[in-house]
Amino acid sequence: MTAARWYRLGLAALLLTLLMAVLMQALKGDWMPPEISFSQYGVGPSWWAFSLFSLGVAATPLCFDRAMPTHRAITWMLLIGAAGCLLMAIVHTDAGGLQQSTRAKVHMVGSVVGLVMVPLGAFGASVLSGRIHRWVPICLTLISAACLVLLLVSAAGVDTLGVGTQRSWALWQTGAVLADVAGMLLLAVLARPRRQPPPGGGDPRHPARTSGRPGVTAGPTTS
C-alpha cells in the first residue's frame, strides 16, 4: 500500500479516535478531567465508545508510521504501545477505580504500556522525520513523561496536587492521554505526503516544453 493510502487510513483512524473521545464523555456524562479515572469511561453501557477510542489510539500512529517510516525502533515502540491499547480496549477496569481485581490490574498494565510507548514512538518519529524543529517533540515528550511520573506517584498514595490522591491520579492521567492525542495530531501534520519533483528537477506546476530544436527546452509558458 502506498504512503498516501496509509496516510488517509491514519486520518480516518484519527477522526474516529477524536469522535469517540467526545462521545464517550457525553454518554458517560463525565467530561474530562474525569471524577475517578479515564478508564472509568470503559465501565457501563458506553464501554464500546472507550474501546473504539483505545483501538483508534493503537491504529492511528501505526498508520502514520507506515506513511512516514523513520526507524525500526520507532515501529516497535508503536507496536508495543498498540498492544497495550488493545489490552485496554478488551479488558476493562472495575467500577469505582479501586483496581483490586485481576481484570482491573491487567487493564492497568495495558494502560501504562499504551500511555508510555505511544507518545514515545510518536514523538520519536517526529524528531527523526526532520520536518519540524526537534525541540517541539522533545518538549512534548518531557511533558508526557512528567505526567506519567506524577501519575505513578499519585497511584502510590501521594496527593501531588493537594486535591486528594484519586483526583490527582485522574488529572495526571488526563494529561498523559492528551499527550497521546498530541502525538497523533503532530504525526498527522508531519506524515502528510509531499509532492515529489519530476525527474530532473523543476517546478511540477510548470513542466518544461520542447522548443522544437533537438536538445533544447523552453521555459514555462506565461498566460
Q: Where are the beta strands (DSSP E) in the chain?
A: 209-210, 217-218
What is the predicted pLDDT for the residue at 135? 87
Residue 211 has pLDDT above 50, yes or no: no
**What CA–CA distance (Å, rounded) separates 186 from 173?**
20
**What CA–CA distance (Å, rounded) separates 212 from 74?**
51
**Mean per-residue pLDDT for 188-205?**
67
Omega of the bond prior to 33 within 30 degrees of 0, cis?
yes
Domain ranges of the chain: 3-193
What is the predicted pLDDT for the residue at 134? 84
The closest alpha carbon to 138, from 152, 148, 128, belongs to 128
Q: What would the pLDDT profile of 102-134 be if each residue is shown by its tens digit?
A: 888 898 899 889 988 998 999 999 989 888 888
For residue 199, name the pLDDT band (cuts at 50, 70, 90): low
**What CA–CA distance (Å, rounded) separates 11 from 35?**
30
Distance of CA 117 to the CA centre of its chain: 10
| Region at 115 (left for phi over 0; alpha for psi -120 to 50; beta for the rest) | alpha
Give the global pTM: 0.80
The most distant pair of C-alpha atoms in the chain lies apart, rounded to whole Å, by 83
Q: What angle do CA 161, 148, 50 make, to 5 degrees?
A: 100
Mean pLDDT of the chain: 83
For residue 80, name the pLDDT band (cuts at 50, 70, 90): very high
What is the predicted pLDDT for the residue at 170? 83
The SS3 of residue 209 is strand
Q: How many other C-beta atoms lie within 10 A of the C-beta of residue 123? A: 27
- Bigger pLDDT: 8 vs 44: 8
- Residue pair 85/58 in contact (Cβ under 8 Å)? The answer is yes
**What CA–CA distance (Å, rounded) separates 167 from 158?**
11
Least confident residue range of 44-53, 142-151, 155-164: 155-164
The SS3 of residue 147 is helix
Residue 23 has pLDDT above 90, yes or no: yes
Q: What percent of the chain has pLDDT over 70?
A: 86
> At CB < 8 A and 24+ separation, what contacts does 204-209 make?
none
